[in-house]
């Protein structure tokens, strides 16, 4: 499939464009179906079924199942099983189906071109999905659904707009190849280039450029540490159309129970990474004999910040325990109005301020070294 579709993209698609030209309807269909298939993979296969980040109405789940099949990335069951293994054994060269540590080509698509032991499907980790009638319907009828969506939709559109072959080439073949590689970028590029603001315990990166190409999936470092969040881009300006689509659907009753990681936990992960990097920089400077006059003062400053950090975490943990106990007693209304709730807000603001202080500390330290 990969060889045939790529060869057609490189030969037939440009030949037809030069010889006859593509009408506007084919171009619009290319863009629209690329968006629909991509959104069904990111919003459906990935955030809904792989990670249970929210609940969706059966109408939306059928929509995801149909357009997800159009992406030709296997069934929901197969896709989610492999993806859950990827998260559980991320970067393990023997267990991760598309481990980035086996090379860029392997993680991009090489893992699909041969039968590797790490890619063997085992549905033990998707038993919850096997109770979903829509998932099992797609699994049972995947081949006819895929053929019908990939050929039927372009042919119908071609008949309507008077260019069946042009529609098949552009909205069918070209769209399929582009959609494939957009998804594959997450397994390869998003584990190779970008930033790691939340964790460096795996190869996942945040990459804004590829977030734009992949419906928001490029904020991959965040996703690998907080995989049940329905968002990948957590800031309002982060390009994450999947997040916006899921949220918009909640306004009309198509989605509900949207899971969000508390801001304090997110900030905690970021501050931990800042401490780790600051300590690494101090160790390097000490070993290299740099900043000899200031190194002890810098260490004392960092130690003081870390003690403040531990105090914040301890109090937050204690308050979380209290909140849990209040909820168990069905006193949520009382909890919301209690003074302890205000203290939660103060702790969150305190951690934000510490995050900013550490950001300035690291920036000044880097400047001093320069």
The span from the CA of 222 to the CA of 186, in Å, is: 13
Band (pLDDT 50/70/90 cuts) for residue 268 is confident
Confirm if 273 and 202 have CB atoms less than 8 A apart.
no
Please tell me the least confidently modeled range out of 98-102, 155-159, 295-299: 295-299
Q: What is the rounded average pLDDT for all residues in the chain?
A: 86
> Which class for 149: exposed (0-12), middle (13-18), buried (19 or more C-beta within 10 A)?
buried
Collapsing DSSP states into helix, strand and coil, what is residue 206? strand
Percent of the chain's residues with pLDDT above 70:
76
Report the candidate in 211, 187, 179, 194 with the shortest Cα–Cα distance to residue 104. Answer: 187
pLDDT at position 64: 98
Please tell me the least confidently modeled range out of 157-161, 273-277, 322-326: 322-326
Task: Report whether pLDDT(56) > 60.
Answer: yes
Band (pLDDT 50/70/90 cuts) for residue 322 is low
pLDDT at position 274: 75
Domain ranges of the chain: 2-256, 263-369
The span from the CA of 69 to the CA of 242, in Å, is: 18
The span from the CA of 16 to the CA of 11, in Å, is: 9
pTM for the full model? 0.83
The span from the CA of 314 to the CA of 307, in Å, is: 11
β-bridge pairing 55-56 and 255-256 = antiparallel
The span from the CA of 80 to the CA of 202, in Å, is: 20
Task: Report whether pLDDT(348) > 90.
Answer: no
Average pLDDT (87-104) is: 94
């Amino acid at each position: 499939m990969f060889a045939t579709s790529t060869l057609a993209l490189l030969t037939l698609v440009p030949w037809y464009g030069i010889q006859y030209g593509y009408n506007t309807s084919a171009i619009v269909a290319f863009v629209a179906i690329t968006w629909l298939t991509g959104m069904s993979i990111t919003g459906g296969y990935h955030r809904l079924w792989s990670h249970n980040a929210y609940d969706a109405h059966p109408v939306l789940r059928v929509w995801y199942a149909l357009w997800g099949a159009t992406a030709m990335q296997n069934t929901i069951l197969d896709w989610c099983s492999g993806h859950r293994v990827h998260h559980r054994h991320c970067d393990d060269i023997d267990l991760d189906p598309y481990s980035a540590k086996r090379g860029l080509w392997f993680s991009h698509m090489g893992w699909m071109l041969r039968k590797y032991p790490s890619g063997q499907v085992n549905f033990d980790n998707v038993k919850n999905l096997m109770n979903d009638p829509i998932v099992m319907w797609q699994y049972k009828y995947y081949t006819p659904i895929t053929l019908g969506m990939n050929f039927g939709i372009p042919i119908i559109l071609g008949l309507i707009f008077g260019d069946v072959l042009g529609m098949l080439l552009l909205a069918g073949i070209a769209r399929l190849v582009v959609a494939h590689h957009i998804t594959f970028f997450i397994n390869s590029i998003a584990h190779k280039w970008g930033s790691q603001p939340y964790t460096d315990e795996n190869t996942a990166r945040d990459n804004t450029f590829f977030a734009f190409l992949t419906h928001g999936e490029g904020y991959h470092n965040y996703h690998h540490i907080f995989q049940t969040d329905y968002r990948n881009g957590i800031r309002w300006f982060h390009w994450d159309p999947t997040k916006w689509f899921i949220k918009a659907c909640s306004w009309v009753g198509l989605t509900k129970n949207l899971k969000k990681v508390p801001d304090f936990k997110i900030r905690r992960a970021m501050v931990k990474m800042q401490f780790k990097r600051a300590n690494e920089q101090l160790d390097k400077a000490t070993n290299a004999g740099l900043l000899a006059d200031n190194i002890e003062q810098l260490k004392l400053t960092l130690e003081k910040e870390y003690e403040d950090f531990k105090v914040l975490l301890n109090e937050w943990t204690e308050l979380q325990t209290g909140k849990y106990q209040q909820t168990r007693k069905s006193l949520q209304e009382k909890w919301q109005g209690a003074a302890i709730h205000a203290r939660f807000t103060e702790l969150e603001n305190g951690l934000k301020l510490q995050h900013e202080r550490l950001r300035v500390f690291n920036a000044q330290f880097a400047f001093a070294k320069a």
